[in-house]
Amino acid sequence: MLKDEKAVVVFSGGQDSTTCLFWAKERFAEVETVTFDYGQRHKLEIDCAAQIAQEQGVKQTVLDMSLLNQLAPNALTRDDIEIAEGEGLPTTFVDGRNLLFLSFAAVLAKGIGAKHLITGVCETDFSGYPDCRDSFIKSLNVTLNLAMDYPFVIHTPLMWLDKSETWELADQMNALEYVRDHTLTCYNGIKGDGCGECPACKLRRAGLDQYMKRRNTTSEGGSLV
């Protein structure tokens, strides 16, 4: 634990950000979360994040980012846009989302005396989103420090993990079942294992199955290659 250090977790109530919340709680003396309302299809996401924050004993701040819905039409905020993957970026990509989220999180963090920002972005299973890349995070970290004259450190615990390794990290923190049962990743707004059909659910389930197979093999005395 970093004594007397505060951290802010960018928090959606999904698998990745909840895993990051547990990661942060193990390392920092004080942790808060910030959740963004950007006109998501399912307000349940915000409710889910609030419930987890309450259960984990951390303060949550919800910020209105509805302007994103006006500027960047996408399948996460518009019922008339189909959730689809194909050539180019998926329809679930929201231009500028992580740039804005982390910038506003930084303003909040500086106001409460926190220099650590934690986000669940990942370049291994990133669906082609450019604002989930390590190069973007490093660049933004420098920009925020210069823009606000403040020593921010952006932490990305999941950056080089695939989904199975993200489940493994949760398990190492004794949080696998909590993450599985209480988080909302599904694009159709179903908590836990979700609908099983949308891209987010398929990625989540494949990662869980892969990790459980690996864990069972290890517990039976097998070796991992």
For the chain, which ranges sit under pLDDT 50? 74-75, 78, 81, 84, 86, 89, 223-225
So what's the pLDDT on residue 220? 67
Q: How many residues does the chain have?
A: 225
Give 207's DSSP letter.
H
End-to-end CA distance of the chain: 33
DSSP one-letter code for 5:
E
pLDDT at 75: 47
- Work out the burial of residue 44: count CB atoms within 10 Å of its CB; fewer than 13 is exposed, 13-18 middle, 19 or more buried: middle
pLDDT in tens, 146-201: 999 999 999 999 999 999 999 999 999 999 999 999 999 998 889 999 999 988 89
- Say if residues 100 and 108 touch (Cβ distance below 8 Å): no
**Residue 37 phi/psi, 5° resolution?**
-95, 100
pLDDT of 42: 63
Interatomic CA distance for residues 136 and 104, integer angstroms: 16
Calpha distance 203→191 (Å, rounded): 15
Give the per-residue pLDDT at 61. Answer: 98
Main-chain phi, psi angles of 89, to 5 degrees:
-75, 145
